[in-house]
Structure formats: C-alpha cells, structure tokens
Homo-oligomer: A and B are copies of this chain.
Amino acid sequence: MIRVGINGYGTIGKRVADAIREQPDMEVHGVGKRSPDYVAVGADEEGYPVYAVDEDRADGFREIGIDLAGSVDDLVAESDIIVDATPSGIGAENRPLYERHGTPALFQGGEDATVAEVSFNARANYDEAEDAEYARVVSCNTTGLSRFLAPLHENYGVEKARVTLVRRGGDPDQTGRGPINDTVPDPVSIPSHHGPDVQTVFPELDIDTIGLKVPTTMMHVHSVNVTLEERPDDVGEVTDLYRAEDRILTIPDYAGIDGAGTLKDLAQDAGRPRGDIWENCLWEESLTLQGKDLYCMQAIHQEADVVPENVDAIRALEGELSGPESRALTNETLGIDLGYLHDRTDLTAVRRTPDESPADD
C-alpha cells in the first residue's frame, strides 16, 4: 500500500485525494492545508488527517474542531510519496523539503518544467517516469493536447500542430479573477507557453499555440489544427481512432451537447463526483479533414483532467504497474467511462462522406 501525502488541498489536491482513496494499491496518508475554512472542514469530514502548512494558524484549526495530525514536515517524513498540489511556484519552493526527507514527489503543471526531471502524461510517456524520483504532471491544457496528439503522432505523424486555446478565466470558486467582460490575448506574445510545454512530453513535435482568456469558469476550449504527415483515408477513420481512446470522450452528434454547460450537465447526470470530466471532450461533428489538415474543437475541464494522470504518475514513480495496466485500473476505479453515449446505438456510419466535403481534395 503506497502511503500518499497530498500537500495542498485545493481544487486539484482534494480531487486527487478522493481519487487515491478509490485505488486498491494506495491510500491517503494525510493532506497539508493552509487555511481553516470550509475546505479544511471538508477534508476532516472525509476522514483525511490534516497537517498544517502554516503552524502559526494551528489555533484556527483547533477552533473549528480539527485535531491536526502534525506539520507538513511530518507529512513528508511519514509518506512514501508526496503529491504537491500547492499554488503555482510554491511547488518549486517545496522541493528542498522533499529532498531533505528523501521523499519522491509529483508536482503540478503550474511549475516550470525544471522542477522535476520528467514532465508526465500517462498516455504519452508513462515509461519515462519509471526511474524518476520527481515528476511534473503537466497542466490541464498540456494534458489535453498530449492525449489528443498521441494517436495522430503514432498513426499519421504530425507535420505541424497549431492550437488556439480559449481559456476559462478562473475556476468557479475563484470569483476574484478576470476577465469579467473581455477576450484577452494571454499571453499576447506567440507562442504561448503551452506549445513548449507539449514539447516537454513530445520533444520532437512541431507545435505553435496561441492563448486567450474569456469570462467563463467551466472549461477551456481548444481550436485545433494539425497538418498530418500522412493523410487518413477519411475523417471517419480519425473519428474511430478517437473513439478507441480511453480518456477522450467523443461527443456524438445526436446528443445535443452544445458547450461546456451541457457537458457539465451530462457529467452531473452521470453521477460524477463534483461533476468532474476527466476526459478530453471532442466534438465529433467538428472533426474535419481538408487535405492533410485536420481540424476540430475539444473542451478540457481544468479542475479534473489531470486527476487520473496524478494517480498514474504515482504508480509510474513507484514502478508498480505498466502504463496500460495503471491507466486501466485508474479508469475502472474512478469510472472514467461515458461510453454509453455510443454503445447504445450503431454509430459506426461515418458522419460525412468524402462527396459531401467539397474542399476535401
């Protein structure tokens, strides 16, 4: 049983904790928390031992009935591995603490790639983390792009990828972030950091990215173009490729799912914890082939898609299972399967025949 310490119990940390609890081969040893607020109360209600990030605030925890299990230093000493889910930049500051205790650690994608020897995505490069002591689970957007690009890279070769990331302004509980009524180039310099970040997973892959922020809180949406080295027979072949991927939810045309709101509604109807969508959400109708140029749109739930990746990364560092074995176990235990949207009907017919695609030479 791998004892996992979660340092930072916010949007990602609490989801990773709940995901670890579902695994047969690991357990939550405790969580590091800074503020004695409703989220701390939630951790205590879940039965997670709480360790103080800031010992000066110990009284605040006591006042709301939380018996601290110790300090974060204790948490690091007692755990087999740490998932650092602290805010961007704090992870790098924490690395010396993990080194001092000889405790392996995962960092999140908000850190620079230099924080760890491997940048990790379970679909793309699980094996590279097997000998590492530190790994960085790449960000939600880079995770989504890595999952999307892997099958194209393997089957057709990627000559060049160009992606516009229409990013959510903040998470639903981050009411203080903007923009409130604007579409903001962010960063205005091109490429955004996402392209180089994808190259930490696929070093040879040619990709340029552009980022903007909009006043929504639900999901990021990517407008994707990939020029392939080898042309698929038709777009149906590409659709089938993505239908076979375990962490890509291909949205069938009939479903009436027209945006992030309906996607969240679907996830809630399916009983997903916190309405989380762990998969990339790829609109099948948007998949379009123009010569060797593939186009599509996909939505990425920024709070959720890295959660199964963290679980897999723990197994990669501990060297317990192969990548496919770990992914399958994580998928099964979390319930990463909305395949019933497809299974219930015969959707093998290709949406668009070549004849209906006039510019499709």
Contact = CB atoms under 8 A, between A and B. Distances in A.
Interface of A: 14, 35-39, 41-42, 44-45, 60, 63-66, 171-175, 181, 217-218, 254-259, 261-262, 264-266, 268-271, 273-275, 340-341, 344-345
Given A41-B344, A341-B41, A344-B64, A261 B35 contact: no
Given A44-B344, A345-B63, A172 B37 contact: no
Contact of A275 (B64, B257, B275): B275
Contact of A172 (B42, B66, B173, B218): B218
A261 B271 CA distance: 20
Nearest to A66: B344
Contacts of A14: 269
B35 A172 contact: no
B345 A64 contact: yes
Interface centre among A39, A265, A270 (most CB of B within 10 A): A265
Q: Which 4 A-B pairs have the closest CB atoms?
A: A37-B256, A65-B344, A268-B274, A42-B269
Contacts of A42: 266, 269-270
Given A274-B275, A340-B45, A175 B259 contact: yes
Contacts of A269: 14, 38-39, 42, 274
Contacts of A271: 273
